[in-house]
C-alpha cells in the first residue's frame, strides 16, 4: 500500500529524531530510578524501519478502516520511540509507575499485561507476559531550549522484570515474527514452560528482595542508596503506598549521610522521629535531610555543595547562599532555645504549631513565608537570583533581632 511505504520512507528521514526522543526519556528514567534507589536496566531505541513496515501492513489488515493518510498512521503507532525498564525486583513496578507519572506527561492509562480477556495465540498453561506499558511525552520544563522540539513526541515505556523482558523478546520474535516458518507444538510448549520458569523466577526475586531488607535491618549498615531505599520503603510502606508522601531523592540523602557520618539505621533513627506525613509537602528524604543539617552550618554547606555542583563556579551566588544559611541557622538556634525554655515538647521546633506559640499572627505569616523560601532554596532544583537571596537574608536577620529583643536571648 503506497501510504504505508510513504510513511516508512518519511520515518527513515526522521529516525535520528525519534532515537533522540527515546534517549532523553531513558536518561530521565535512569536518573530518577537511581535517585529513588531502584535497581533496573534502562534501554532505548527508535523502531527498526523494516519491522515498522511489517507491523503497519499487519495492523492495516486488522483495522476496520484502512490507513488513508500519514496522520492516520502517526496517531495509531505509539512506539516509534521506545524505552524499556527491566527491573531487578518485580515488586518495584508500582514505584516505577509513580516515577513515570511524576516525571512525564501521561497520555493515557497504562496498559497492564496480561489482559484478562485476551485469547492467547497458542495453548498456554501459564499466564504469559507480565508488564505495564506507559505512553508518555516529555515535560516542557524538563528540557533545555535546544531540546524543546521533542516535547510533543510520544514514547512508550515498557516496565517489566529483567526475566520477563528476556522471555518476551524470545517469544515475540519466534511466535509473532518467525523467520523460519511457524513453530511446532513442541516449540510452543517449550516457550510456555520457559514462561512458567520466569514466573517462578519472579517469585524468587521478590523473596530475594525481602531477604535483602531483612539483612539490612539486622546488620544496620547502609552500603549504598539501594540499601537505604529498601530500608525506608519497608519502614514507611503504608505512607508511601497511599501517596501520603513522596520518597524523594534517596541517592542525595545517602551521600549527605556518608559525609555526616550517619552510616547505620541506629545513626539514622534520631533524624526519623520528627517526620510528618500529612501537612508537610516536603518529600521523606528532604525532611530527613533537614533534620540532619538543622542548626549545623557545616552540614548546611555540605548539603548545598552536594545539591548543586554548579554552585562553586558562581562565587557571588555561593556567598549569598552562605550568608542566608548563617542567618537561618541562627534563627533555628533561637527557636530551639525558646522551645526548650517554654518546656514545650515537640518533634520539630519549626513545626507550624510550635511557631504559633512563639510568634504573633502578624509575624507568623512572614516566618512561614521565609520557611517556604528556605525549603525552596535548599531542596529546589534551581537557585533563586542573588538579589532575592540577599533580600530574604535581611528578612531572616530582622526576625532574629525581633526574637532577641522580645525574649532577651
Query: What is the CATH number for 147?
Result: 3.30.460.10
Does 34 reside within a domain? yes
pLDDT of 323 reads 87
pLDDT of 345 reads 63
Spatial separation of the C-alpha atoms in residues 344 and 36, rounded to whole Å: 36
- pLDDT per residue over 151-174, tens digit each? 999 999 999 999 999 999 898 878
- Are residues 299 and 152 part of one domain? no
Stretch 52-77: mean pLDDT: 90
- Are residues 299 and 155 part of one domain? no
Q: What letter does residue 1 receive in the DSSP assignment? A: -
Does 335 reside within a domain? yes
User: Phi, psi (5° rounding) for residue 61?
Assistant: -70, -30
In this structure, the strands spanning 111-113 and 155-161 are: unpaired
Does 155 reside within a domain? yes
Domain endpoint, select from 97, 129, 161: 161
Spatial separation of the C-alpha atoms in residues 106 and 136, rounded to whole Å: 5
In this structure, the strands spanning 81-87 and 104-106 are: unpaired
| Bridge partners, residue 387, by sequence | none
Spatial separation of the C-alpha atoms in residues 226 and 314, rounded to whole Å: 32
Please name the residue that has the C-alpha cell 509575624.
363
Does 276 reside within a domain? no
Q: What letter does residue 264 receive in the DSSP assignment? A: B
Going by C-alpha positions, the residue among 276, 275, 229, 217 that lies closest to residue 253 is 229
Range of the domain at 377: 294-407
C-alpha cell at 200: 517462578
Stretch 244-249: mean pLDDT: 82
Q: How confident is the model at residue 243 (pLDDT cuts 50, 70, 90)?
A: low
Domain endpoint, select from 133, 161, 189: 161
- Give residues with Cβ within 8 angstroms of 277, minimum separation 6: 239, 244, 245
Convert 71-80 to b/e letters by CB count within 10 Å (16 or more is b): ebbeeebbbb
Question: Which range, of 42-46, 340-344, 371-375, averages the lowest pLDDT?
Answer: 340-344
DSSP H or E stretch at residue 46: strand 40-46
pLDDT of 123 reads 72
Question: How many residues are given for the chain?
Answer: 409
Stretch 353-369: mean pLDDT: 89
Going by C-alpha positions, the residue among 147, 115, 149 that lies closest to residue 132 is 115
Spatial separation of the C-alpha atoms in residues 13 and 19, rounded to whole Å: 12
- Percent of the chain residues topping a pLDDT of 90: 53
Query: Over 90: is that where the pLDDT of 79 sits?
Result: yes
Spatial separation of the C-alpha atoms in residues 179 and 168, rounded to whole Å: 17
- The answer to whether the bond into 202 is cis (omega within 30° of 0) is no
Query: Over 50: is that where the pLDDT of 322 sits?
Result: yes
Question: Which range, of 138-142, 206-210, 283-287, 315-319, averages the lowest pLDDT?
Answer: 315-319
Alpha helices in 220-345, H assignment, sequence order: 225-235, 237-241, 250-259, 265-272, 284-293, 297-307, 315-341
Stretch 211-234: mean pLDDT: 91
Query: Over 70: is that where the pLDDT of 223 sits?
Result: yes
Query: Over 60: is that where the pLDDT of 409 sits?
Result: no
Which of the given ranges, 300-304, 335-339, 400-404, has the highest pLDDT on average?
400-404
Does 284 reside within a domain? no
- Percent of the chain residues topping a pLDDT of 70: 91
Query: Over 50: is that where the pLDDT of 310 sits?
Result: no
Going by C-alpha positions, the residue among 267, 306, 310 that lies closest to residue 288 is 267
Does 194 reside within a domain? no
pLDDT of 313 reads 56
Domain endpoint, select from 127, 146, 161: 161
Stretch 366-376: mean pLDDT: 87
Query: Over 70: is that where the pLDDT of 308 sits?
Result: no
Give the residue, 318 or 13, on which the prediction is more confident.
13
Q: How confident is the model at residue 349 (pLDDT cuts 50, 70, 90)?
A: confident
Does 156 reside within a domain? yes
What is the torsional sign of CA 81, 86, 87, 93? positive
User: Between the CA of residue 283 and those of 240, 262, 374, what are the distances in Å?
Assistant: 10, 19, 15
- pLDDT per residue over 270-294, tens digit each? 999 878 776 667 889 999 999 999 8
Does 177 reside within a domain? no
For the chain, what is the domain count? 2
Give the residue, 77 or 181, on which the prediction is more confident.
77
- Are residues 12 and 155 part of one domain? yes
Helix or strand or coil: residue 225?
helix
Stretch 80-95: mean pLDDT: 96
pLDDT of 319 reads 81
Convert 225-250 to b/e letters by CB count within 10 Å (16 or more is b): bbbbbbbbbebbeebbeeeebbbbbb
pLDDT of 14 reads 95
Query: Over 90: is that where the pLDDT of 198 sits?
Result: yes
Mean pLDDT score across all residues of the chain: 88
Please name the residue that has the C-alpha cell 540499601.
227
User: Phi, psi (5° rounding) for residue 89?
Assistant: -125, 115
First-to-last alpha carbon distance for the chain, in angstroms, is 85
Amino acid at each position: 500500500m503506497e501510504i504505508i511505504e510513504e510513511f516508512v520512507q518519511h520515518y527513515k528521514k526522521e529516525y535520528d529524531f525519534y532515537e533522540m526522543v527515546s534517549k532523553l526519556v531513558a536518561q530521565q528514567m535512569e536518573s530518577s530510578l537511581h535517585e529513588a534507589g531502584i535497581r533496573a536496566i534502562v534501554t532505548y531505541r527508535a523502531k527498526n524501519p523494516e519491522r515498522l513496515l511489517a507491523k503497519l501492513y499487519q495492523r492495516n489488515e486488522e483495522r476496520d478502516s484502512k490507513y488513508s493518510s500519514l496522520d492516520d498512521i502517526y496517531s495509531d503507532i505509539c512506539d516509534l520511540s521506545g524505552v524499556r525498564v527491566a527491573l531487578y525486583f518485580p515488586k518495584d513496578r508500582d514505584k516505577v509507575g509513580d516515577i513515570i507519572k511524576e516525571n512525564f506527561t501521561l497520555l493515557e492509562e497504562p496498559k497492564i499485561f496480561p489482559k484478562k480477556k485476551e485469547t492467547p495465540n497458542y495453548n498456554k498453561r501459564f499466564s504469559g507476559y507480565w508488564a505495564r506499558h506507559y505512553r508518555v511525552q516529555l515535560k516542557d520544563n524538563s528540557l533545555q531550549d535546544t531540546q524543546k522540539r521533542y516535547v510533543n513526541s510520544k514514547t512508550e515505556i515498557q516496565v517489566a522484570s529483567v526475566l520477563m523482558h528476556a522471555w518476551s523478546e524470545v517469544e515475540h520474535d519466534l511466535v509473532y515474527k518467525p523467520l523460519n516458518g511457524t513453530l511446532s507444538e513442541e516449540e510452543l510448549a517449550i516457550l510456555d514452560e520457559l514462561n512458567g520458569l520466569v514466573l517462578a523466577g519472579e517469585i524468587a526475586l521478590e523473596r530475594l528482595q525481602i531477604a535483602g531488607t531483612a539483612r539490612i535491618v539486622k546488620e544496620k549498615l547502609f552500603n549504598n542508596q539501594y540499601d537505604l531505599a529498601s530500608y525506608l520503603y519497608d519502614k514507611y510502606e503504608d505512607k508511601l503506598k497511599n501517596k501520603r508522601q513522596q520518597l524523594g531523592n534517596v541517592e542525595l540523602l545517602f551521600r549527605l549521610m556518608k559525609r555526616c557520618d550517619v552510616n547505620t539505621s541506629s545513626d539514622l533513627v534520631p533524624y526519623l522521629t520528627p517526620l510528618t506525613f500529612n501537612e508537610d509537602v516536603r518529600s521523606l528524604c528532604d525532611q530527613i535531610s533537614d533534620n540532619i543539617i538543622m542548626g549545623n552550618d557545616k552540614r548546611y554547606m555540605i548539603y548545598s555543595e552536594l545539591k548543586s555542583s554548579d554552585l562553586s563556579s558562581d562565587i557571588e551566588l555561593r556567598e549569598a547562599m552562605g550568608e542566608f544559611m548563617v542567618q537561618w541557622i541562627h534563627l533555628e538556634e533561637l527557636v530551639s532555645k525558646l522551645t526548650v525554655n517554654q518546656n514545650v515538647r515537640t518533634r520539630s521546633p519549626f513545626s507550624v504549631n510550635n511557631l504559633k506559640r512563639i510568634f504573633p499572627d502578624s509575624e507568623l505569616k512572614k516566618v512561614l513565608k521565609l520557611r517556604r523560601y528556605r525549603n525552596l532554596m535548599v531542596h529546589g532544583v534551581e537557585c533563586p537570583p542573588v538579589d532575592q537571596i540577599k533580600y530574604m537574608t535581611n528578612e531572616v536577620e530582622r526576625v532574629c533581632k525581633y526574637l532577641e529583643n522580645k525574649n532577651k536571648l
